[in-house]
Amino acid sequence: MGPRPIDLHLKALKNMGAKINDAHRGFIHCEADRLKGCDIQLDYPSVGATENIMLASVFADGETVIRNAAKEPEIVDLQNYLQAAGVRVTGAGTSIIRIAGGGGKLRYAEHTIITDRIVAGTYMAAAGITGGNLLLKNVYPENLSSVISVLRESGCRIRVNGSTVHVVGPARLRAVDIVRTLPYPGFPTDMQAQLMAMLTIARGTSIVVETVFENRYKHVDELLRMGANIKLEGRIAVIKGVRKLVGANVTARDLRGGAALVLAGLAAEGETVVSGIRHIDRGYERIEEKLRQIGATIRRVD
């Protein structure tokens, strides 16, 4: 995926009064008697940095304002929990979040975490790539609008009814025009690899532009082993759809790329063996069991 720096986190904590020593490679030493609320302008709307600052601000003295904050649903979900626990926080889902610190005690709160939109999107892509018929329950479709839009463009029939999403894949997928990964509400970078797996067998030529991470195309070489036709030009991937993929021995290099290889294996002719599944396990709970329940011929080999 390329560099994943934590400079936004460290810069924010320093602004809040933390003393940070990151001179020792691989270790960071932080200390602070008290954090102080302040105005923080993020250079990029990072989800992790936004969440980290929100949490640090809870016990800081005074108000903290996060500008250019991430807008992802997970940010809103964190705000909902903090509010339930007694924290005065507003603005999640917009570019400006305000947290009134004060160091008071948090109160007991029960909170149900929202379901994983990327996992839901992955199973939607599984229906698309196999021409399957899948009903997903307990989904937040409003958090998946960009994914639903692109899958519909590719030929999938998708019906939304409350928290239920019904996906029917076409006999053959259609190429999509240009898909750019963007911060929410744009198309999520965490769905880029799964979409690319779909597009390898779509009719026509598709273009995917990865704008979030520098090197998030590690799955491409593995898809090429399966017969895909993909050309990379920097952050741009040009995918010319082929009639079919062929099973092969492939290796998951990261979480979402691994999921994409599983999807490609479902659609490929012959057997596909995916190694490096520890990456997949980081984001999917027993993915093989869930796919087997909906008709896939798949098993884990330990």
Tens of pLDDT, residues 126-149: 999 999 999 999 999 999 999 999
Phi-psi region of 120 (alpha: psi -120 to 50; beta: other; left: phi over 0): alpha
Q: Is residue 187 part of a domain?
A: yes
Tens of pLDDT, residues 205-240: 999 999 999 889 999 999 999 999 999 999 999 999
Residue 74, CB-side half-sphere exposure with 13 Å CA sphere: 15
Q: Is residue 258 part of a domain?
A: yes
Taking alpha carbons only, the member of 93, 92, 147 closest to residue 119 is 147
Using an 8 Å Cβ cutoff, are 184 and 145 in contact? no
Residue 27: predicted pLDDT? 86
Q: How far apart are CA 89 and CA 120, in angstroms?
A: 28
- DSSP state, residue 94: B
Residue 57, CB-side half-sphere exposure with 13 Å CA sphere: 29
Tens of pLDDT, residues 238-277: 999 999 999 999 999 999 999 999 999 999 999 999 999 9
Q: What's the CATH code of the domain at 158?
A: 3.65.10.10
Q: Is residue 111 part of a domain?
A: no
Looking at 72, 100, 128, which one is the last position of a domain?
100
Residue 2: predicted pLDDT? 55
Using the predicted structure, report yes or no on whether residue 97 has a pLDDT greater than 70. yes
Using the predicted structure, report yes or no on whether residue 24 has a pLDDT greater than 80. no
Within this chain, do residues 289 and 164 fall inside the same structural domain, yes or no? yes
Contacts for 18-22 with beta carbons within 8 Å, 24 or more apart?
none
Residue 25: predicted pLDDT? 74
- How far CA 21 is from CA of 24, 40, 195, 290, in Å, comes to 8, 20, 41, 45
Within this chain, do residues 13 and 91 fall inside the same structural domain, yes or no? yes
Strand partners, 98: 65, 90
Using an 8 Å Cβ cutoff, are 84 and 97 in contact? no
Within this chain, do residues 79 and 145 fall inside the same structural domain, yes or no? no
- DSSP state, residue 87: -
Burial class (CB in 10 A: 0-12, 13-18, 19+), 61: middle
Tens of pLDDT, residues 169-208: 999 999 999 999 999 999 999 999 999 999 999 999 999 9
Local confidence band at 26 (pLDDT 50, 70, 90 cut-offs): confident
Give residue 288's domain range: 117-293
Q: How far apart are CA 292 and CA 287, in angstroms?
A: 9
Looking at 100, 129, 155, which one is the last position of a domain?
100
Within this chain, do residues 182 and 255 fall inside the same structural domain, yes or no? yes
Q: Is residue 22 part of a domain?
A: yes
Within this chain, do residues 140 and 75 fall inside the same structural domain, yes or no? no
Within this chain, do residues 191 and 287 fall inside the same structural domain, yes or no? yes
Within this chain, do residues 151 and 67 fall inside the same structural domain, yes or no? no
Within this chain, do residues 125 and 244 fall inside the same structural domain, yes or no? yes
Q: Is residue 110 part of a domain?
A: no
Q: How far apart are CA 161 and CA 178, in angstroms?
A: 28
Residue 222: predicted pLDDT? 99
Averaged pLDDT for residues 19-30: 82
Within this chain, do residues 131 and 67 fall inside the same structural domain, yes or no? no
Q: Pairing mode, if any, of strands 249-251 and 273-275?
A: parallel
Within this chain, do residues 124 and 227 fall inside the same structural domain, yes or no? yes
Q: Is residue 107 part of a domain?
A: no
Within this chain, do residues 132 and 163 fall inside the same structural domain, yes or no? yes
What total number of domains does the chain contain? 2
Using an 8 Å Cβ cutoff, are 75 and 92 in contact? yes
Q: Is residue 198 part of a domain?
A: yes
Determine if the pTM surpasses 0.85. yes
Of 104-108, 119-123, 137-141, where does mean pLDDT reach its minimum? 104-108
Within this chain, do residues 90 and 158 fall inside the same structural domain, yes or no? no
Tens of pLDDT, residues 31-90: 999 999 999 999 999 999 999 999 999 999 999 999 999 999 999 999 999 999 999 999
Residue 105: predicted pLDDT? 82
Local confidence band at 121 (pLDDT 50, 70, 90 cut-offs): very high
- DSSP state, residue 39: E
Task: Determine the distance from the C-alpha atom of residue 109 to the mean position of all C-alpha atoms in its chain, rounded to a whole number.
Answer: 27
* Residue 38, both tokens: 């302040």
Using the predicted structure, report yes or no on whether residue 3 has a pLDDT greater than 60. no
Q: Is residue 298 part of a domain?
A: no
